[in-house]
């Protein structure tokens, strides 16, 4: 093995390691963006393909963040006024309480 071959091998190995590090770094960046926006980090599984990584990163950067309900911990859009799962009122907490399941509430008399 000549010196030129060894240098070429080392240079190509360094290039492969740098490209892999950048690739994994971009995936970690996408996961951190997803977590910051309360989105599922599992969307980054599309990054198995390099084109999927680019598309998922762009979509993840453009998506609006979700807010988490303090009562049931489900996620709702940022502009939601009521939680779609438990009816929690984001604007005036405690204004609407859905009836407890299994408890009969008679209809109001007029
Ligand atoms: Zn809720």
Q: How far is the CA of 62 from the centre of ligand 1 (A)?
A: 25
Whether the pLDDT of residue 50 is over 70: the answer is yes
Tokens of 5: 């071959």
Helix, coil or strand: residue 54: helix
Whether the pLDDT of residue 98 is over 70: the answer is no
Q: Residue 59: what pLDDT? A: 95
Q: Residue 105: what pLDDT? A: 76
The 10s digit of each residue's pLDDT in 59-96 is: 999 999 999 999 899 999 999 998 888 888 888 877 76
Q: How far is the CA of 82 from the centre of ligand 1 (A)?
A: 8
Q: How far is the CA of 105 from the centre of ligand 1 (A)?
A: 22
Taking the model in full, what pTM does it have?
Answer: 0.71
Q: How far is the CA of 34 from the centre of ligand 1 (A)?
A: 21
Q: How far is the CA of 68 from the centre of ligand 1 (A)?
A: 8
| Cα separation, 18 vs 12, whole angstroms | 10
pLDDT classification of 42: cutoffs 50, 70, 90: very high
Q: How far is the CA of 79 from the centre of ligand 1 (A)?
A: 14
The 10s digit of each residue's pLDDT in 4-34 is: 999 999 999 999 999 999 999 999 999 999 9
Contact 47, 64 (CB under 8 A): no
Whether the pLDDT of residue 108 is over 90: the answer is no
Domain boundaries, the chain: 3-63, 66-99
Burial of 58 (0-12, 13-18, 19+ CB in 10 A): exposed
Q: How far is the CA of 73 from the centre of ligand 1 (A)?
A: 6
């Amino acid at each position: 093995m000549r010196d030129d071959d060894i240098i070429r091998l080392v240079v190509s190995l360094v290039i492969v390691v740098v490209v892999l590090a950048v690739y994994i770094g971009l995936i970690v960046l996408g996961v951190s963006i997803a977590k910051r926006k309360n989105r599922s980090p599992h969307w980054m599984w599309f990054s198995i393909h390099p084109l999927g990584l680019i598309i998922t990163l762009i979509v993840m950067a453009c998506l609006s963040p979700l807010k988490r309900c303090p009562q049931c911990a489900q996620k709702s859009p940022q502009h939601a006024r009521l939680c779609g799962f438990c009816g929690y009122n984001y604007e005036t907490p405690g204004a609407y309480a859905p009836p407890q399941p299994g408890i009969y509430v008679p209809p109001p008399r007029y």
